[in-house]
Amino acid sequence: MTLLALNKPFGTICQFSAHETRASLADWVKMPGIYPAGRLDSDSEGLLLLTDDGALQARIAEPRHKLVKRYWAQVEGAPTDDVLKALARGVDLGDYVTRPCRAEFVEPGEALWARTPPIRYRAAIPTTWIELSITEGKNRQVRRMTAAVGFPTLRLVRVGVGALDIFSLGLPPGECIELPSRAPWEGFASS
């Protein structure tokens, strides 16, 4: 079994086949027979796990296993504590209501790399960073959640999957490492 961790850069699509205008996973991962365990939209960045083990891939990606994925979202505006409580309770997105999650303010400081290209800057509109820890990971879920409570996401970074944290792994954007077979994340296979 092979398990890789990639810091997926902004603008990279989550497929290995070549794309005419965008980078793909093949630009960053050179190991054959590896597939992403879950997805990140091209306009999202951060921790993406890849494996050659189908059962492990399912354990990581499928919502029924309730593996926590942590995201830092830079949102437009200044949400209040009540907004975070609304996110934590679950948000009605029209087609479904999200599961309860953990939502809190976060200050990325120097831990977070600069994005290329940077987000748009608007002097009259502040931005705020929040951390959402979710177990579902449906299509564009975090972006839809923040928009539904009135604070659109400008930048979205997955910073953790289960016990793995992108900062403790020390992965700059575009970097991919193989994870040892005996480590806290082997619990993915038994959860």
The pLDDT, as a whole number, for residue 142 is 97
Owner of token pair 């960073």: 129
Q: How far apart are CA 54 and CA 52, in angstroms?
A: 6
Instruction: Say whether 68-161 and 1-65+164-191 share the same fold.
Output: yes
In tens, the pLDDT along 44-85 reads: 999 999 999 998 898 898 888 889 999 999 999 999 999 999
pLDDT tens by residue, 114-167: 998 888 888 888 999 999 999 997 889 999 999 999 999 999 999 999 999 999
**Mean pLDDT, rounded, for 86-105:** 96
Helix (H) or strand (E) holding 164: strand 164-165
| CATH class for the domain made up of 68-161 | alpha beta
Q: Give catalytic status of residue 41 as yes or no.
A: yes
pLDDT at residue 41, as a whole number:
94
168, pLDDT greater than 90: yes
- Model confidence at 190: pLDDT above 50: no
Q: How many angstroms separate the CA atoms of 134 and 141, rounded?
A: 9
Active-site position among 27, 41, 52, 53: 41
pLDDT digits (tens, 9 = 90+) for 6-37: 999 999 999 998 888 889 999 999 999 999 99
Per-residue pLDDT at 188 exceeds 60? no
- CATH architecture designation of domain 1-65+164-191: 2-Layer Sandwich (3.30)
Query: Burial code of 51-89, b = ≥16 C-beta within 10 A, e = fewer?
Result: bebeebbebbbeeeeebebbbbbbbbeebeeebbebbbe
Ordered by start, the domain boundaries in the chain are 1-65+164-191, 68-161
Model confidence at 191, in pLDDT bands (50, 70, 90)?
very low
pLDDT of residue 181: 65
